[in-house]
């Protein structure tokens, strides 16, 4: 299913979230708050809250993934800050197939939906994003990774 991979570092994610903040500022709107799509949207939402000076951060928990298996969306925790998303930023790390995006978009139709990263299938469902990846790339976020020793390439390197 996935042919390639992209590894996002903490530094890259932070830079991309700040770029997303610049794009959102260009909209010249007053926001009542941010709604993070958990879990992936939580860290981008925290960075955006800081950069945009937004204090109210809520969340909606939707499960659609179990590693690389995609299933039907299930709400684990619903948003409480707004009924339809009006004057709220809806933030996620990535829009992939669009299954989660479509689901939260239907629940919060007036929210401005922004993701840091987008893939072609889900891209039409978001209002703002920073970087597009190929549909068949698996994105590894910094919270998915662990630092570990890498053996040298040459068999003679440890001699």
Predicted confidence (pLDDT) per residue in 120-135, tens digit: 999 999 999 999 999 9
Instruction: Please confirm, yes or no, whether 127 is among the known catalytic residues.
Output: no
Choice among 16, 28, 84, 93 that is catalytic: 93
Assess whether 96 carries a catalytic annotation: yes
Domains and CATH numbers, the chain: 4-144 (3.40.50.2020)
Over residues 92-112, the pLDDT tens digits come to 999 999 999 999 999 999 999
What's the pTM?
0.86
Strands (E), 23-108: 33-38, 57-66, 69-77, 88-95
pLDDT attached to residue 69:
63
CA distance 89 to 47: 13
Distances from the Cα of 50 to the Cα of 14, 17, 34, 155, angstroms:
12, 11, 11, 48
Q: What is the mean pLDDT of residues 29-40?
A: 95
Count of Cβ atoms closer than 10 Å to residue 105 Cβ: 18
**Active-site entry in 92, 136, 148, 158:** 92
Q: Is 93 a catalytic residue?
A: yes
| CA 101 to each of CA 52, 63, 81, 97, 118: distance values in angstroms, whole numbers, following the listed order | 23, 11, 19, 8, 11
């Amino acid at each position: 299913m996935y042919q390639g991979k992209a590894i996002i570092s903490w530094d890259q994610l932070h830079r991309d979230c700040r770029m997303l903040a610049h794009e959102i500022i260009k909209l010249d709107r007053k926001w009542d708050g941010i709604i993070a799509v958990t879990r992936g949207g939580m860290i981008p939402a925290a960075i955006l809250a800081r950069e945009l000076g937004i204090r109210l951060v809520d969340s909606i928990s939707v499960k659609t993934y179990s590693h690389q298996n995609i299933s039907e969306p299930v709400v684990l925790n619903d948003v409480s800050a707004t009924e339809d998303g009006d004057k709220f930023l809806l933030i996620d790390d990535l829009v992939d197939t669009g299954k989660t995006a479509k689901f939260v978009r239907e629940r919060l139709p007036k929210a401005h939906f922004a993701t840091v990263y987008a893939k072609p299938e889900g891209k039409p469902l978001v209002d703002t994003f920073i970087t597009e990846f190929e549909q068949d790339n698996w994105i590894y976020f910094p919270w998915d990774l662990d630092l570990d020793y890498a053996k040298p390439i040459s068999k003679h390197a440890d001699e």
